[in-house]
Amino acid sequence: MGRAAAKSVAVTVLALGAAIGLPAGTSLGASRTPGLRVVHFSGSFVPQQITATAGSLWILGSTSPSTFTACAIERFDPSTLEAQAYALPQCATGITSGNGRVYLLVNQVQPNTNTRDYRIEVFDPTTLSAQVLPPVVLQNIGSAVAHTDLSFGDGSLWLYGYALGGKNEVVQIALDSGDVENTLGNAPEIGGVYPAVVGNSAGEWLGGGPGAPAGLEWVHAGTGTATNITLVTGGRSGSILWLSATTGRVWAGLARYGGAPGTTMVTTRLVALDEQGHVAVRSPWENVGLYPVVATPDGHLWDVEYPARCGGFETLLEIDPSTGVSRAAARLASSPAACNDEEAGSELAAIGRAVFVLFPTAGAGSVLYRATT
């Protein structure tokens, strides 16, 4: 693959306090206030999703997102924030990483049909090259592309989505060949946008995403047997917004819906399960963030909360892993065009003590923050 230094970004060092939008006198608690740097995407490259592996940050994007062509992946050095871009054979709708590689979900529509064939595209940071693996790992129809989630866990890739016939399905995919190794047909119902799937040594953990019923399905490693775990109780409807695996635990971001007649109220909380499926941590009902949490070496978890209106300040949340309680660590300014777009995919990653947050927009104005925690 050709290689060229990216010229689409400008890096700014931010002072803390008022410069990042904190009201005068705001206390951020006992933890250290993050140091911030920001990358402004001002050129033709439009960033879309991020992931971290092989000691670098990788950003999926395109110079022609409206046509779903001219896609590339940019490598950002986590220390200097210098960037280099590498062309991709096919544009992707999802990104994840593991075993030192970047994995992308690509699809092509069959001629004269509305059927999409999904495959895995692999970018190797060692050879700086990408290839699309031949096997078709899933097929579905039209807009079902918006209801898929690709993740890495326990030595495999896991793709959760609608299959042909509208059934919910999870496929286990071999990393090197892209072959489907196993298919799970007992996945929870998918909600309005993406579902959630993570894997660890205990097995696979499945949730239907925002708008879906709140049942968590745990498929036990090596047996294929499944256990349903109820996480939202108290007579209200709710959803599992996302799942994230950290050492020895699976974290779930929960939403509970209710309120007086004619009104809508949404409250959220965090729940952590150990590898025996027991609840280890349950936070109060509070802001928990919109993306699967990421962890830093001190064990703390990080997430980001969008504002109620487009273009407002987003809030970086630091989460205590022993209690699940979150605190506002910093407020991050974004473009006026940036909205609550959690369905857009991965926008949060961590490398060492640095947490990266991407706020993409449809055109110029996207920003990437590095918070040194």
The rounded distance, in Å, linking the Cα atoms of 328 and 371 is: 13
pTM: 0.89
- Whether the per-residue pLDDT at 338 is higher than 60: the answer is yes
Return the structure tokens found at 368: 């990437």
Q: What are the counts of helices (DSSP H) followed by strands (DSSP E) for the chain?
A: 0, 31
Tell me what pLDDT residue 230 has: 84
CB 328 within 8 A of CB 286: no
The rounded distance, in Å, linking the Cα atoms of 366 and 123 is: 24
- Burial environment of residue 141 by CB neighbours within 10 A (0 to 12, 13 to 18, 19 or more): middle
Tell me what pLDDT residue 340 has: 59
Beta-sheet pairing, 314-319 with 226-230 = unpaired
Residue at 130: amino acid letter: A
The rounded distance, in Å, linking the Cα atoms of 188 and 226 is: 11
- Compute the average pLDDT of residues 88-99: 95
- Whether the per-residue pLDDT at 14 is higher than 60: the answer is no
Extended beta strands in 80-190, E state? 83-87, 94-98, 101-109, 115-124, 129-132, 138-141, 149-153, 156-162, 168-173, 180-184
- Whether the per-residue pLDDT at 262 is higher than 80: the answer is no
**Residue 264 has what DSSP assignment?**
-
Could you give the C-alpha distances from 158 to 19, 103, 218, 227, 273, in angstroms and in order? 41, 11, 14, 18, 20
pLDDT tier at 295 (50, 70, 90 boundaries)?
Answer: very high
What is the maximal distance between C-alpha atoms in the chain?
62
- Whether the per-residue pLDDT at 216 is higher than 70: the answer is yes
**Residue 34 has what DSSP assignment?**
P
CB 64 within 8 A of CB 57: no
pLDDT tier at 24 (50, 70, 90 boundaries)?
Answer: very low
- Whether the per-residue pLDDT at 105 is higher than 80: the answer is yes
Partners of 60 in beta bridges: 49, 73
- Whether the per-residue pLDDT at 100 is higher than 80: the answer is yes
Tell me what pLDDT residue 339 has: 66
pLDDT tier at 224 (50, 70, 90 boundaries)?
Answer: confident
**307-316 contact pairs (CB < 8 A, 24+):** 307/340, 310/336, 310/337, 310/338, 310/339, 310/340, 311/335, 311/336, 311/337, 311/338, 311/339, 313/21, 314/338, 314/357, 314/359, 315/287, 316/34, 316/355, 316/357, 316/369, 316/371
Tell me what pLDDT residue 364 has: 72
Tell me what pLDDT residue 6 has: 40
Tell me what pLDDT residue 23 has: 35
Structure-model confidence comparison of residues 232 and 318, the more confident one: 318
The rounded distance, in Å, linking the Cα atoms of 353 and 295 is: 9
* Average of per-residue pLDDT values in the chain: 85
Of 17-31, 166-180, 297-311, give the range with the top mean pLDDT: 166-180
pLDDT tier at 264 (50, 70, 90 boundaries)?
Answer: low
The rounded distance, in Å, linking the Cα atoms of 206 and 188 is: 7
Alpha carbon 151 to chain centroid, angstroms: 9
**Residue 147 has what DSSP assignment?**
G
Return the structure tokens found at 156: 């495999």
Cα angle 13, 95, 327 (rounded to 5 degrees) comes to 50
The rounded distance, in Å, linking the Cα atoms of 187 and 298 is: 34
Return the structure tokens found at 265: 């109220």
CB within 8 Å of 114: residues ≥ 6 apart: 141, 142
Tell me what pLDDT residue 3 has: 38
Region of poorest pLDDT, from 7-21, 245-259, 273-287, 294-308: 7-21
What is the tens place of the pLDDT at every residue in 115-163? 999 999 999 999 999 999 999 999 998 888 889 999 998 899 999 999 9
Tell me what pLDDT residue 261 has: 56
pLDDT tier at 5 (50, 70, 90 boundaries)?
Answer: very low
Tell me what pLDDT residue 252 has: 94
Tell me what pLDDT residue 314 has: 85
Tell me what pLDDT residue 348 has: 93
CB 35 within 8 A of CB 15: no
> Reduced to 3 states, what is the DSSP secondary structure of residue 198?
strand
What is the tens place of the pLDDT at every residue in 341-367? 554 567 899 999 999 999 888 767 889
- Compute the average pLDDT of residues 262-273: 79
Query: What residue has token string 């990653």?
Result: 349
pLDDT tier at 368 (50, 70, 90 boundaries)?
Answer: very high
Cα end-to-end distance, the chain, whole Å: 35
